[in-house]
Amino acid sequence: GAVVSQHPSRVICKSGTSVKIECRSLDFQATTMFWYRQFPKQSLMLMATSNEGSKATYEQGVEKDKFLINHASLTLSTLTVTSAHPEDSSFYICSARGPSGGPTDTQYFGPGTRLTVL
């Protein structure tokens, strides 16, 4: 099956610094990738939809200047949390949409990145 990787798996940073998280589709090309965040005991919340070669579409309430998304190639999307604060501490998960582009496409999820801001 399709594999999506994320790097790093865990990151601890100081308040005010920026953190970059990478999401890669390893064996297929993904024109669309998604970024989610998940708080403890809650379900995934969609932050933004990332399309290769164009600007990301952000969900309501998500600050695009704080969560910078770049989808420069068909296999890589990055999420940069700028000027991170403790309230940004969360589990960030990316997914890549399956290759056919149809309505029944499966999203393949990465293993997630645990961000802790001190």
Residues near another protein (CB under 8 A): 4, 6, 34, 41-46, 91, 93, 95, 97, 103-112, 114
Check the CA dihedral 13-15-17-21 and report its sign. positive
For residues 62 and 82, which CB has a smaller minimum distance to another protein in the complex?
62
For residues 7 and 82, which CB has a smaller minimum distance to another protein in the complex?
7
User: Could you tell me which of 13, 112, 95 has the C-alpha nearest to residue 48?
Assistant: 95
Distance in Å, CB of 10 to another protein, minimum: 9
Distance in Å, CB of 118 to another protein, minimum: 19
Q: Is 18 helix (H, G, I), strand (E, B) or coil?
A: coil
> What are the φ and ψ backbone dihedral angles of 87, each rounded to 5 degrees?
-70, -10
Distance in Å, CB of 88 to another protein, minimum: 18
For residues 77 and 95, which CB has a smaller minimum distance to another protein in the complex?
95
User: Could you tell me which of 113, 28, 22 has the C-alpha nearest to residue 76?
Assistant: 22
- Which residues in 54-118 belong to E strands, given as ranges? 57-58, 67-73, 76-81, 90-97, 107-109, 113-117
Distance in Å, CB of 30 to another protein, minimum: 13
For residues 82 and 91, which CB has a smaller minimum distance to another protein in the complex?
91
